[in-house]
């Protein structure tokens, strides 16, 4: 483990954390509207998984997608501008929070029909196999998507055709306000759903970015080499509400539970590792806070000062000309 590597992972997680906090603030100021689903608490999964990818591998996500997009290296200003609905946003303001796309960075999008993007991931993997490219596709989704029919159809096709896709289930224990034990029959081991199709599956601590990256590094090459798909269940917890319309706790979970879970903060866990291995000092974290604070502030400034799309944009890009 080297210092630069660990601090870089920390920096990426910190960027997501502060970006999300700022998004919530901007939502309160009505700069951002619609649905806004924050990734706070789950940062280690996107950062750890994407750190094990090559830049030309594909990643695709569901609607809680800011973290994956930022971890893929997207420009925070363009992401924030997209949340603001501005012309300078990644998708020129036409996608919004749930539909970020950065094709140049092989981030193939956020999708907001639960389970509906999982077949798309198998398709990306099908294409790379068809094209004889040694690329993998990583597909992020919540545990709430696992019982959906489209997920199962995609698991079956991926296993049947040995497609180079890694399914990453971010198990944050709640599908909106419904706890997993009331939604998923195999709630104690959701990976069984994938195993039942012959997909190898393992569970990882989704609060530990190094554990996530280690597991990904272990599985990505066999998948790349054509040994078929893999399913990772990353155990995590959503520190905030499902979206901006519900509080961090509420009728479906207690404040005590949330407080208890917040003790295992993925940023604190990595920080502790860095400090205990004497690979960094408090001053490093202060400096990162300062740097990221500036990046996030700049993203807001960029978004705020950017123009809204011109009315003439309305009918553009409905069809490819």
Partner 1 sequence: MLMSYREALNQAMREEMRRDSRIFLIGEEVGYYQGAFKVSKGFVEEFGPQRVVDTPITEAGFTGLAIGAAMAGLHPIVELMTMNFGIVALDQIVNNAAKIHYMSGGQLSVPLVIRGPGSAAHQLGAQHSQSLEAWFCHVPGLKVIAPATPHDAKGLLKSAIRDNNPVIFIEAQLLYGTKGDVGDGEYTIPIGVAEVKRAGHDATIVAYSKMLLLALEAADQLSREGIEVEVIDPRTLKPMDLPTIVASVKKTGRLVIVEEGWHFCGLGAQIAESVYREAFDYLDAPIQRVTGADVPMPYSRPLEDAAIPNKERIIKAVKAMCATP
Q: Does residue number 276 form part of the binding site for partner 1 (CB under 8 A)?
A: no
Residue number with CB closer to partner 1 (43 or 57): 57
Residues 112-151 touching partner 1, rule: CB under 8 A, are 113, 116-128, 130-131, 149-150
Reading the block at residue 72, the tokens are 């893929």
Q: In angstroms, what is the minimal distance from the CB of 145 to partner 1? A: 13
Which of 1, 4, 310, 318 binds partner 1 (CB under 8 A)? It is: 318
Q: Where are the alpha helices (DSSP H) in the chain?
A: 3-28, 43-50, 66-71, 76-83, 118-130, 149-160, 192-195, 209-224, 255-262, 266-276, 282-305
57 contacts partner 1 (rule: CB under 8 A): no
Under 8 Å between Cβ of 35 and 246: no
Residues 6+ apart with CB under 8 A from 16: 39, 40, 43, 46, 47, 66, 67, 70, 71
Site string for partner 1, 6-45 (x = CB under 8 A): ----------------------------------------
When asked if residue 317 is in the footprint of partner 1 (CB under 8 A), the reply is yes
The residues that bridge with 169 in the sheet, in sequence order, are 141, 233
Binding window for partner 1 (CB under 8 A); candidates: 28-36, 104-112, 173-181, 269-277: 104-112
Closer by beta carbon to partner 1, 118 or else 209: 118
Contacts of 155 (CB under 8 A, 6+ apart): 118, 167, 193, 194, 197, 199, 229, 231
C-beta of 161: minimal distance to partner 1 in Å?
Answer: 8
Which residues fall within 8 angstroms of residue 75, CB to CB, at 6 or more apart?
90
Sign for the CA dihedral angle at 264, 235, 253, 14 comes to positive
Per CB under 8 A, 85 contacts partner 1? no
User: How many residues lie near partner 1 (CB under 8 A)?
Assistant: 44
**Among positions 108, 138, 166, 209, the unique one binding partner 1 when judged by CB under 8 A:** 108
**Residues 6+ positions from 89 with CB-CB distance below 8 Å:** 78, 79, 81, 82, 83, 95, 303, 306
Report 158-177 residues binding partner 1 (CB under 8 A): 160
How many CA within 13 A on the CB side of residue 115? Answer: 14
Binding span for partner 1 by CB under 8 A among 155-163, 222-230, 231-239, 282-290 = 155-163
Answer yes or no whether residue 156 interacts with partner 1 by CB under 8 A. yes
**Residue 60, SS3 per DSSP:** strand
Tokens 């601590």 sit on residue: 205
Which residues, 6 or more positions from 32, have their beta carbon under 8 angstroms from its beta carbon?
23, 26, 83, 84, 97
Q: Which of 3, 25, 54, 103 binds partner 1 (CB under 8 A)?
A: 103
Scanning 63-71, 101-109, 201-209, 232-240 for contacts with partner 1 by CB under 8 A, the matching segment is 101-109
Q: How far is the CB of 127 from partner 1 (least distance, A)?
A: 4
Query: Whole-number minimum distance, CB 8 to partner 1, in Å?
Result: 27
Q: Confirm or reject binding of residue 243 to partner 1 (CB under 8 A).
A: no
64 contacts 31 by C-beta, under 8 angstroms: no
Interaction of residue 316 with partner 1, rule CB under 8 A = yes
The position carrying tokens 């054509």 is 226
Find out whether 73 and 293 touch, Cβ atoms under 8 Å: no
Residues in the chain, total: 321
- Could you say which of 40, 91, 199, 219 contacts partner 1 (CB under 8 A)? 91
Considering the rule CB under 8 A, would residue 99 count as an interface residue with partner 1? Answer: yes
Binding site for partner 1 (CB under 8 A): 58, 89-95, 99, 101-104, 108-109, 111, 113, 116-128, 130-131, 149-150, 153-154, 156-157, 160, 316-320
């Amino acid at each position: 483990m080297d210092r630069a590597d660990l601090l870089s992972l920390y920096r990426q997680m910190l960027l997501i954390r502060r970006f999300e906090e700022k998004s919530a603030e901007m939502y309160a100021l009505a700069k951002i509207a619609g649905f806004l689903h924050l990734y706070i608490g789950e940062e280690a999964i996107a950062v750890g998984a994407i750190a094990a990818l090559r830049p030309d591998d594909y990643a695709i996500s569901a609607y809680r997608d800011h973290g994956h997009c930022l971890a893929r290296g997207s420009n925070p200003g363009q992401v924030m501008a997209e949340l603001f609905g501005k012309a300078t946003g990644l998708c020129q303001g036409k996608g919004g929070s749930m539909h970020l796309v950065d094709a140049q960075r092989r981030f193939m999008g956020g999708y907001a029909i639960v389970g509906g993007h999982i077949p798309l991931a198998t398709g990306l993997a099908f294409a790379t196999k068809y094209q004889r490219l040694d690329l993998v596709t990583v597909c992020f989704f919540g545990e709430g998507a696992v019982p959906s029919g489209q997920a199962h159809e995609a698991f079956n096709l991926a296993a049947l055709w040995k497609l180079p896709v890694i399914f990453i289930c971010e198990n944050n224990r709640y599908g909106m306000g419904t706890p997993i034990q009331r939604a998923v029959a195999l709630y104690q081991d959701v990976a069984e759903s994938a195993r039942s199709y012959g997909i190898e599956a393992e569970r990882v601590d989704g609060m530990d970015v190094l554990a996530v990256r280690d597991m990904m590094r272990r599985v990505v090459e066999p998948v790349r080499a054509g040994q078929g798909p893999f399913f990772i269940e990353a155990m995590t917890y959503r520190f905030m509400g499902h979206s901006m319309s519900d509080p961090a706790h509420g009728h479906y979970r207690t404040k005590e539970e949330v407080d208890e879970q917040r003790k295992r903060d993925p940023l604190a866990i990595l920080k502790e590792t860095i400090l205990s291995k004497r690979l960094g000092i408090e001053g490093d974290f202060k400096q990162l806070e300062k740097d990221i604070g500036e990046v996030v502030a700049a993203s807001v400034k960029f978004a705020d000062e950017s123009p809204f799309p011109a009315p003439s944009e309305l009918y553009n890009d409905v069809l490819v000309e």
